[in-house]
Amino acid sequence: MSNATELVLDLGTSKASLVVAELDDHGDVAIRDLFVVPMRGMQRGVIVDLDEAVQSLKECERLVASQGIKREVTVSVNGAHLEGMNAQGFQPIFPPNRAIHREDVLHVVNHSRQVTPTPDREQILALPREFRIDGQRGIMRPVGMSGNRLEVLTHLVTGHIAHLYNVERAVDAAGFKVRQMVPAPFASGMAMLSEEERGAGCVVVDLGAGTTGVSIFSQGCVAGTACIPLGGQNVSGDVSKLLKMTLEEADRLKMEHGRAILGTLKEDSTVEVRQIGQSSPRHLQRRVLYEIIEARMREIALRVRDQVERSGMLGTLPGGLVITGGGSAMPGVAQLFAKVLREPNVRVAAPRMSGKAGLRASQPEFASV
């Protein structure tokens, strides 16, 4: 049995994650290596300084240079410029009632992709959600069936050409070659859900440093994709500004003492903080810290709810809501999202990977990669 080696690169706002994966003949994946480097030159999931981004990715390239691996990589694409939509295509069958061939399926899917994006956008994902034969819905594998008219409902994701080109230029300049691009929210959704969960219908929320990815699945297929330009860095920024402390101190405070929802709290509960211009630490009421954090986390949850509502599936997803990503580790996240989305079925989860580096990769922050 021969194993194929794949390189996968996730360009996050705060870190770049590179996975060396092995795929066997049965499609099973084992994580051989996982490399993580600080990512510079990125804001809210998009490149804002090409030179800085290239330097970060060159560090990734250096880490795999000694392994003799082809430098072709699958790259995640992030940022609010991503837009998901659903499109339809149709294909008449000649002669009537003959068996549908694979070529018919390819033609009808390509017809659904003929939605003309604006000149500054490019399609990066097109996945069939459902086929219909002579009006009969819910068909997933039409090849071999008979009919007169084949239709398809396809989920399309487009991105801003300038942002996509910047990613490709940075990856190429670092010594890699882009094999394909995948929307990060979709990747996280596929990583976190079983086939049964995708069939039941589920929302996956990936809480990152600069962005929050949203992927919506229904009847086994992706039905909605979005990327919200808010994340953990916004929470730290709020704490830093309102409590007059460095961003590093705000990050520490958030990581060690943060909570996404106020809940019950003793009035005299305090936490020690270091503020700019103060020679010694002071005690701050925990309630103040929690209120600052909850305000921003509630905004993110409301934006997620807007996306689910826009898809028309709010309250109709038996699989509930799955939260992952680095920001999912904060206490109270599940309770806050359950309250805002009025969804009782909410859980925080991480990917489950095997292989030499599988245990290390089985963390929420690596859902996308």
- pLDDT digit string (tens) for the chain, length 369 residues: 457 889 999 999 999 999 999 987 777 889 999 999 999 999 999 999 999 999 999 999 998 887 777 889 999 999 999 999 999 999 999 999 999 999 999 999 999 998 877 889 999 999 999 999 999 998 999 999 999 999 999 999 999 999 999 999 999 999 999 999 999 999 999 999 999 999 999 999 999 999 999 999 998 899 999 999 999 999 999 999 999 999 999 999 999 999 999 877 777 789 999 999 888 899 999 999 999 999 999 999 999 999 999 988 888 889 999 999 999 999 999 999 999 999 999 999 999 999 999 999 999 999 999
Plot region of 299 (φ>0 → left; ψ -120 to 50 → alpha; else → beta): alpha
pLDDT for the residue 2: 56
Residues 6+ apart with CB under 8 A from 301: 336, 337, 340, 341
pLDDT for the residue 166: 97
Distance of alpha carbon 146 from alpha carbon 136, whole angstroms = 12
Name the phi and psi angles at 330, rounded to 5.
Answer: -70, 130
Distance of alpha carbon 309 from alpha carbon 7, whole angstroms = 36
Which SS3 state, helix, strand or coil, does residue 159 take?
A: strand
Report which secondary-structure segment, H or E, holds 99.
none
pLDDT for the residue 1: 45
Structure-token match 């396809």, residue found: 154
Considering only CA atoms, give the Rg of the chain: 23
What is the pairing mode between strands 221-228 and 136-139? unpaired
Bridge partners for 92 per DSSP: 149
Contact 245, 281 (CB under 8 A): no
